[in-house]
Amino acid sequence: MMDVDLNGLVLAGGKSKRMRRDKGLLRYRGRAQRYYLADMLRKYCGQVFISCRPDQNKAIVHAGYNTLPDDGQAEEQYGAILSALTAYPNTAWLVIACDMPMMDGEALTYLIAQRDSSMIATAYAGPDNGLPEPLSAIWEPRSRGTLLDKLSQGVTCPRKALIRSAPDVKLVAPRDPLIVMNANTPGDAAAARQIIRQSGTASRVI
C-alpha cells in the first residue's frame, strides 16, 4: 500500500497537574518543549500543528506555530488525535506528546522507516511492558474509523484503542528505551535533564 502524506502533531494541551507547570513550556535543550518538538517534526512532515487548550492558543500562534483545536468528539489525548484525523482525513499523523523529553530525530527517522501504512498505526512499544505508545506513533487515515468505533464502546484511552485493535497495529521496539520516557513530575524532568546533559545535547536547539 502506498504511504499517504504525513503531518505532525505535538500534543501540548494537557493540564500538567503532576508537573505543577505547563510541560510544554519546560526547556530541556534551550527551547520550550512544545516548540522544540514542532521544529523537529517539520523535518519529516508536510504540515505540523500543536494541539492545545484555548487558553494556550494565542501564545502558540504568536510564536509562529499552527494550532489544531479539539473539535469536541472526545476528551484530552484521544480527542486531539481524533480531531486531527477528522480535520485532515486523507493524511497520516505522526503524533508526539510534549512530555517525551528524550525523543529525537533519530528515533523519528527510525519510526517512519518502520511505518506500515496497511495498519491503522505504527507505534513504539513500551520497553517494560511491550504495550503500544500511542503518543509516539504514526496514525493512518483509517484509524479515525477505529477510534470512533472504540469511542462508541466507551474507550477513551488511545492506548486501549490500539491494544483492542491488534493485530492491526505495528509495534516497533525502540533502539533506546529512554526514547519513550515520560516526564510527568518535577523529579522526572530533573532526571531527563541530567541524562540530556550527560549525553552532551543539552545546548542543542533544532
> Across the chain, what does the average pLDDT equal?
93
For the domain made up of 6-199, give the CATH fold.
Spore Coat Polysaccharide Biosynthesis Protein SpsA; Chain A (3.90.550)
| Separation CA 186–CA 19 (nearest Å) | 5
pTM for this structure? Answer: 0.93
Domain positions in the chain are 6-199
The pLDDT of residue 3 is: 73
Q: Helices marked H in 53-185 — which ranges?
A: 54-62, 76-87, 105-113, 143-152, 158-163
The pLDDT of residue 178 is: 94
Does pLDDT of 205 surpass 70? no
169-195 burial, b at 16+ Cβ within 10 Å, e below that, comes to bbbbebeeebbbbbbeeeebbeebbeb
Confidence tier at 202 by pLDDT (50, 70, 90): low
Mean pLDDT of 170-188: 95
- Specify the DSSP element, H or E, that contains 136: strand 132-139
